[in-house]
Amino acid sequence: MSFVDEIKIKAKAGDGGNGIVSWLRLKYMPNGGPAGGDGGKGGDVYFRAVRDLTKLADYTSNPNFKAESGGHGMKNSKEGKDGADLYIDVPVGSQITELKTGNKFSLLKEGETIKVLRGGKGGFGNEHFKSSRNTTPMEHTDGEPGEEGEFYIELQMIVDLGFVGLPSAGKSSLMNALTRSRAKVGDYPFTTLEPSLGAFHGYVLADIPGLIEGAAEGRGLGHKFLRHIKRTKAIAHLVSFEYENMFEEYEKIRKELGEYSPELLDKKEVIILSKSDLVDSEVAEKTKKEFEEKYKKPVQIVSIINDEQLKNLASFLSNFLKEK
């Protein structure tokens, strides 16, 4: 799935309905007095947080929203119907900026709502202006316009586990094997251009474009993705058995993470040695031990064509993500 993590939208609350001028007409009382109803209130506009992290992509083709307007007043003193409120669904973790005022707010919990634009009040019908001195008021007022606004929405992904590693380390392949996502897999570096997400036992996994030396200064796909890694709760660092010196490759990426932000180095991490089918199992086991001793972190071996290893990794990860 292609990923939209920022968007600008326009929204307008509903207009208030107009009040009307009308007279009560009864058979035995040709002029029963003013009976023009008031207009209904326009609908308000809210943002609402939903679990669907791909929600913003729905709005790219039509980023304009409008809540329902209030109905006009009716005869026989009937009030116009209130316009329905409009809820704009945004992913949990959205930070929203009102562009005119610069006000910022975040929606961090599923189901959380915030009212951002007020619908216009309904106008008064002529009945409202009735008094002892004026029993036949001709006045009425129009409804107020609903408020309008422009908003910049930025998703600050709340990802449980982010896959990092060099281009072609096998991140997308592994993500596909563990989740039902269909991230593009390629034989060339930088196949993944946008982070893509997958659901795994109720956790969110993110496949992130490959990092290279100099990423922290903007080389390769650079900064844009390091920003996403900053928000992940844990990191899965893939190192492929293809590399001559796996330790060196691992440390290169760690260095980039640290240069971007030292706190990335303190995140909980699992090292995943990928493409194990390319080497003998003794070599794989030996390398695993060396990694464990050298870095004092959990290390897993995997190949996407080895069901047993995939199963072991899945059960390891579900425990790993459960621990705080």
Ligand X SMILES: Nc1nc2c(ncn2[C@@H]2O[C@H](COP(=O)(O)OP(=O)(O)OP(=O)(O)O)[C@@H](O)[C@H]2O)c(=O)[nH]1
Q: Which residues in the 267-286 window bind ligand X by CB under 6 A?
A: 274-275, 277-278
Whether the CB-CB separation of 124 and 141 falls below 8 Å is answered with: yes
Q: Does 178 bind ligand X (CB under 6 A)?
A: no
Identify what 303 binds: ligand X, Mg ion, none; CB under 5 to 8 Å per kind: ligand X
- Build a one-symbol-per-residue string for 208-227: x at contacts with ligand X by CB under 6 A, - elsewhere: -xx-----------------
In the region spanning residues 153 to 172, those forming contacts with Mg ion, defined by CB under 5 A, are: 171-172
303 counts as binding ligand X under rule CB under 6 A: yes
Are 60 and 78 in contact, with CB atoms under 8 Å apart? no
Min dist. Cβ of residue 171 to ligand X (A): 3
Q: Which residue's structure tokens are 């009560």?
A: 24
- Do the Cβ atoms of 256 and 213 come closer than 8 Å? yes
* CB 4, min distance to ligand X, A: 19
d(CA 304, CA 282): 18
Site residues (CB under 6 A) for ligand X, limited to 179-198: 185-187, 189-192
Of the candidates 203, 222, 202, the one whose C-alpha atom is nearest the C-alpha of residue 211 is 222
Closer of 105 and 190 to ligand X (Cβ): 190
Q: Which stretch binds Mg ion (CB under 5 A): 40-48, 134-142, 185-193, 233-241?
A: 185-193
Which residue do the tokens 């669904």 mark?
Answer: 89
* DSSP-based helix, strand, coil % in the chain, nearest 5: 25, 25, 50
Q: How many CA atoms lie within 13 A of 113 on its CB side?
A: 11
Q: Which of Mg ion, ligand X, none sits in contact with 167, Cβ below 5 to 8 A by type?
A: ligand X
Residue 196 interacts with Mg ion (CB under 5 A)? no
Q: Give the pair of three-digit tokens for residue 148.
A: 């309008």
Catalog residues that contact ligand X under the rule CB under 6 A: 165, 167-173, 185-187, 189-192, 209-210, 274-275, 277-278, 303-305
